[in-house]
Amino acid sequence: MRLGCVITEKLSKMDRLEIDNILKIDELNNELEFEQATSIQGKLRWMVKEDSSLIPIRQHLLVLIEKFESKHWENESEITEEQIKESDDAEKIINAENIFIQKRKELIKRKLKENEISQKDLAKILGHRPNYMSELTNGVRPFSRDDIVVIHRLFGIDFNDLIPPFLKKEVTNHIKMTLGAMKNKRIRLKFKDLESV
């Protein structure tokens, strides 16, 4: 498996915007978190119809988004080129992640239909409640390694279609710094291999 496909939660900090952590956040720290929050809030907009327990999370995200916008984007004269670039980069990353998640969701749904089982059946197989399964397939919650392996074995879906090929910024920065400091210059990754998108 390519380095770009490795998802390593242990090397990175806690994902602040994982659904279980959202209510603990007081503010968004950067443009990437802002774009993530906006994306999750959009997904939750229709998911709350099936699971009302998500309403407080969605409402809290709306507050965080408004707070970030008013602090960083309200005064046009204070907006810098660097801020705009950071915003554009964050938007590209989240768009790429959303495209991947949507393709994976459609692939899993197609395999469920081909095998004549429901998403609720898959939730039982994986040991999840149905609403939790919806959070997984919609990308609001990450699949566990075991979930990915089971889905791969059940349906023969390639790991490249199940595991997002995105690295967290902390991981990317660590790898760049470490490779730059190594005396062995044989191991080199192209810039695109370390990109989040």
- For position 167, what pLDDT does the model report? 78
Q: Which residue has the higher pLDDT, 177 or 94?
A: 94
Q: What is the pLDDT of residues 13-30, one digit of tens each?
A: 347 888 899 999 999 999
- For position 196, what pLDDT does the model report? 52
- Number of neighbouring beta carbons within 10 Å of residue 45: 13
DSSP string for 47-110:
HTTT-GGGHHHHHHHHHHHHHHHHHHTS-GGG--HHHHHHHHHHHHHHHHHHHHHHHHHHHHHH
pLDDT band at 195; cut points 50, 70, 90: low
- DSSP H or E segment with residue 31: helix 31-47
- DSSP H or E segment with residue 4: none
Q: What is the pLDDT of residues 145-186, one digit of tens each?
A: 999 999 999 999 999 999 988 877 778 778 878 877 887 777
pLDDT, averaged across the chain: 86
- For position 34, what pLDDT does the model report? 96
- For position 17, what pLDDT does the model report? 86
pLDDT band at 193; cut points 50, 70, 90: low
Q: Are 5 and 163 in contact (CB under 8 A)?
A: yes
